[in-house]
Chains A and B, each alone.
Chain A
Amino acid sequence: MKIDGRHKIRTVAGESIIIMQGQTTVDMTHVVSLNATSVWLFERLAGRDFDAAGVASLLVEEYGIERERAEADAAAWIEKLRSCGIIVE
């Protein structure tokens, strides 16, 4: 999987967001708000292929958390961004 290169993080009044513009004829625009960890993962993984295990390893390495918790957090992060179309296969 990878992060769709069309999406960029914007900072609006201190908040990190990704704007998903809708089709021109359908108002499906929405905004995805990212916390600091999400932003950090996005920036580390942009432009490269990765898997859930790799995301978990990054979290363990950066935050010193237990592997089991890192895997759960990684799965949640991937699922959130995949459901928005930001992470693609």
Chain B
Amino acid sequence: MMRRTERIAIGLLRQALGLAQQAADDLVTELRGLSGQEWREVYRFTVRHFVTAVVFDAAERLPAEVRPPRDLLLQWAVHADKVIRDNERIAHATQSLVGLPGVQGIGITVLKGAGLASLYPRPELRESCDVDIYTGRADDFNRAVRALGIEVHDDALEHKHDCFEYCDVYFENHRSFVNSVPGRAMRRHVDNLLVGLLEGRGVRRAAPADVPNPDFNALHIVVHTAEHFSHGAAHMRHLCDWALLLASGEVDLTLLRANIAECGLLRFADAMTGICIDRMGLPSEAAGPVQRDRELENRVMSAIAGYDGKIMHDLQHKGWWESAVDKLRLFIDNDWRRRLVYNNRSFAHSFVKQVSQTVRYRIFGRR
């Protein structure tokens, strides 16, 4: 069961995305009598879910009698302004990177971020903190940027990307797209599907760099969100991206459904889609065929709405033993999520897989 302030934040988000003619009167009615404290909870929700600037766009257009208190509105405006400036800085850094000597001959595709931002009514409001890129030639790219004095952290064994900082922006150069799908064979299969979509259907010319085609983006969003959801880290921005991409009408829905089924993620994807229809204003005709399960959708929605990034942040700053105990507790709490996403694999199976994967790359350096 979601809290009132969560429902309101999501209602404002729905307004901001502009996908449906929201019953604005209903939202205004719900906002009447909202206290300053409750408004602050709404604001904090948007911060946790990386949609502060997007929701602000709706909040500042509310009728005067139901707007947030002035001091909060100004604080919100400051946050939204920072998002815009950060996006400008990221775009400038990306444009500069693409033009570097030695890098120019290596095609750079910007994943997520810039490609998905263009779907938003106001792209500059979609919050990003780093840049995910794909080159298909990671070693050549690393050599080229290292020759220019840029330090690259080769983290391919721990994660799926190499990292570097350029113009005060953090870049992740992906060698693959999948991290926590259980089973090496399945990980490889899903990765091959995505690479096939990206290289087979091409990229789109955009500023400051090329972006993937919509079919790649669609499958990538599902895989990426499923991974995050399985360990309790999916949030509202994931749902916004999904709703807007489906609403764009540019995705081959038949191909998408087949690909999602091959990845074993149909049930989860249908839950995401159902949520977007009911909560985000996604027109049902834009969603394509979807198997509805409202009880599951409500459970998933509550879980996503309850996302608390602080838990993840705190884990990184605890001692080894404390962190291990917390991680085990989270692993147990997230069992139902993994079963949903990865098709009812037993807890024992998931636990053994997770431990063996950890041992493999910590001790033997292999994923």
Contacts and interface: CB of A to CB of B under 8 A. Distances in A.
Interface of A: 10, 12-15, 17, 19, 21, 29, 31
Contacts of A10: 77, 81
Given A19-B77, A31-B74, A31-B77, A13 B82 contact: no
Contacts of B20: none
B77 A17 contact: yes
B73 A12 contact: yes
A17 B81 CA distance: 12
* Dominant secondary structure at the B interface: helix
A70 B73 CA distance: 33
Nearest to B59: A13
Contacts of A17: 74, 77
B60 interface: yes
Given A12-B73, A13-B67, A31-B74, A19 B81 contact: yes
Contacts of B60: 12-13
Q: DSSP class of A's interface residues: helix, strand, loop or mixed?
A: strand
A13 B78 contact: no
A14 B366 CA distance: 58
B324 to A, nearest CB: 32
6 contacts: A12-B74, A13-B64, A13-B73, A21-B81, A31-B74, A31-B78
B153 interface: no
Nearest to B168: A24
A29 B64 contact: no
B65 to A, nearest CB: 12
Interface string B77-99: 11001100100000000000000
Nearest to B77: A12
Interface of B: 60, 64, 67, 70, 73-74, 77-78, 81-82, 85
With a 10 A CB-CB cut-off, give which of A14, A19, A31 has the most chain B CB atoms.
A19
Contacts of B70: 13, 15
B53 to A, nearest CB: 13
B73 A19 contact: no
A14 B82 CA distance: 20
A21 B82 contact: yes
Given A12-B73, A13-B60, A13-B73, A29 B67 contact: no
A10 B53 CA distance: 14
Nearest to A18: B81
Contacts of B77: 10, 12, 17, 19, 31
A89 B336 CA distance: 63
Nearest to B76: A12
Nearest to A8: B81
B160 to A, nearest CB: 28
A85 to B, nearest CB: 16
A21 B149 CA distance: 30
Contacts of A29: 78, 82
Contacts of A15: 70
Nearest to A19: B81
A79 to B, nearest CB: 23
Contacts of A14: 64
Nearest to B62: A13
Which 5 interchain pairs have the tightest Cβ spacing? Answer: A19-B81, A12-B77, A31-B74, A13-B60, A29-B78
B262 to A, nearest CB: 43
Contacts of A19: 77-78, 81
